[in-house]
Chains A and B, each alone.
Chain A
């Protein structure tokens, strides 16, 4: 069984379109994340959800919106896609220890988004 799975693996779309990327984890973790990895391989955190509450929201355009129907799922919706949104998007999950550092994060296989 795949621990963290995200779909689709590849997504090619035109500028201005709206798209979604889905993520599911079966590890029982209480924290899920979305990361963006650009062409220079920098991993930048976009969102973090802990028990369905947003706990990090970096300086991400509001065209990006995370949606978490339950703690096993964290989907990413992107409106009005722009060329600069092209990147690999990773979903991840971890178990956040109470009042302590988080445990290791498990990553999905990534979604390569190409905006043309």
Chain B
């Protein structure tokens, strides 16, 4: 039931772009994205709802393809502050009792 993320880890130079994918075996109602810096709590980035929407803020955006049960997080012109572990979180029901975090993607941005 845990969504699978790819890649597991990625190293970027400042200014490069990255894509993180999240894939679920279940039909989804929503996808959440979180970032966790080392030693800190996960912090919410955005939520995408059923309907195939795309969202973004600053240079981080995401898409949700409900037919494929997949979501992708796009980081453009990466900054050092983007380093951390990114988690998707998926909801497979309206009752909220099927929310699971993905396997995580470690992103390291180097100068």
Contact = CB atoms under 8 A, between A and B. Distances in A.
A51 to B, nearest CB: 12
B96 A105 contact: no
Contacts of B29: 100-101
Interface string B63-96: 0000000000000000000000101010100111
Contacts, number: 64
A26 interface: no
A48 B96 contact: yes
Contacts of B85: 41
A11 to B, nearest CB: 16
B42 A90 contact: yes
Nearest to B90: A101
A90 B40 CA distance: 10
A8 interface: no
A43 B41 contact: no
A104 interface: yes
B96 A96 contact: yes
Interface in A63-116: 90, 96, 99-110
Interface SS, B side: strand
B41 A45 contact: no
Interface in B24-62: 29-30, 32, 34, 36, 40-44, 47, 49-50
Given A35-B101, A102-B30, A105-B44, 18 more contacts: A41-B104, A42-B2, A42-B101, A43-B42, A44-B2, A45-B100, A50-B96, A56-B97, A101-B30, A101-B47, A101-B91, A102-B96, A102-B99, A104-B32, A104-B44, A105-B34, A105-B42, A110-B41
Please name the 5 residue pairs, one residue from A and one from B, whose CB atoms are nearest each other, closest first: A101-B30, A104-B44, A107-B41, A43-B101, A101-B91
